[in-house]
Amino acid sequence: SQTIHQWPATLVQPVGSPLSLECTVEGTSNPNLYWYRQAAGRGLQLLFYSVGIGQISSEVPQNLSASRPQDRQFILSSKKLLLSDSGFYLCAWTGGAEGYTFGSGTRLTVV
Amino acid sequence: DAKTTQPNSMESNEEEPVHLPCNHSTISGTDYIHWYRQLPSQGPEYVIHGLTSNVNNRMASLAIAEDRKSSTLILHRATLRDAAVYYCILRDAWGGGTSYGKLTFGQGTILTVHP
């Protein structure tokens, strides 16, 4: 069966520090991968998606970047965090017309 | 992306059926109707999806209007664990266009279930 792993679960980082969040999928190949962010009390915003290794599409210009170094690995990064980067970050995958499967999320607080 | 309209909130009593409506008057012929729910502090969970015909699974039923401009998610017997934000989302058919089947979340409907 397919599983998605996302870590860490919580993170507190100072302004200006770097960020690296990792997401991995098991049990499938060539998944479509997605990074979403949910600010406190708000809806989910699609940040990046990837349809293959090295293929990244950005939905919203921002202080973040994404990379897909391996088929089932998706990484969200920042060189210098801003206060506005705080939020609940979710990774998701899908293999076709079926529904998305979301990870358990990382709650990031930038202080 | 075609948009959906949902009520901001709904309430139900435990063990009663719940009908969550969604309007999508600009739906295209290749759009699937997806429903997700999000419990507090968790990622969204897939509930059900359909194209034209009504769909049933272990979690819920999806009733789709004949003109596909609206749909209703039906929880047959609400439990306290069903209290969540429910999202109705239109998704391009797999492999179509340049959207790669992206899900664009709206504000959803906050469902409160009373004991």
Q: What is the pLDDT of residues B21-52, one digit of tens each?
A: 999 999 988 889 999 999 988 999 999 999 99
Residue A13: predicted pLDDT: 97
Minimum-distance CB partner of B44 among A44, A45, A94:
A44
Listed as own residue / partner, the contacts of B94-99 with beta carbons closer than 8 Å and 24 or more positions apart are B94/A96, B94/A97, B96/B30, B99/B1
Q: Which amino acid is at B82?
A: D
Sort out which chain B residues have CB atoms less than 8 A from A46's CB and list them.
102-105
**Burial label, A83 (beta-carbon count in 10 A; 0-12, 13-18, 19+):** exposed
First to last CA, chain A: 38
Give the whole-number percent of chain A exceeding pLDDT 90. Answer: 74
Residue B40: predicted pLDDT: 87
CA dihedral sign, ordered A71, A74, A80, A84: positive
Residue B98: predicted pLDDT: 52
Minimum-distance CB partner of A102 among B43, B47, B94:
B43
Task: Pick A89 or B92 by higher pLDDT.
Answer: A89
Q: Which amino acid is at B37?
A: R
How do residues A34-45 score in pLDDT, each as one tens digit?
999 998 877 899
Sort out which chain A residues have CB atoms less than 8 A from B109's CB and list them.
none
Looking at every residue in chain B, the average pLDDT score rounds to 90
Give the whole-number percent of chain A exceeding pLDDT 70. Answer: 98
How do residues A15-72 score in pLDDT, each as one tens digit?
999 999 999 999 988 899 999 999 887 789 999 999 899 999 988 867 899 999 999 9
**Minimal Cα distance from B92: which residue of A?**
A97
Contact by Cβ (8 Å): A29, A94? no
Sort out which chain A residues have CB atoms less than 8 A from B93's CB and list them.
97
Structure tokens at B101: 């089947």
Q: Which helix (H) or strand (E) holds B22?
A: strand B18-23
Structure tokens at B82: 């069903």
Task: Count contacts between A and B (CB, < 8 Å).
Answer: 54
Is B50 at the interface with chain A, CB within 8 A?
no
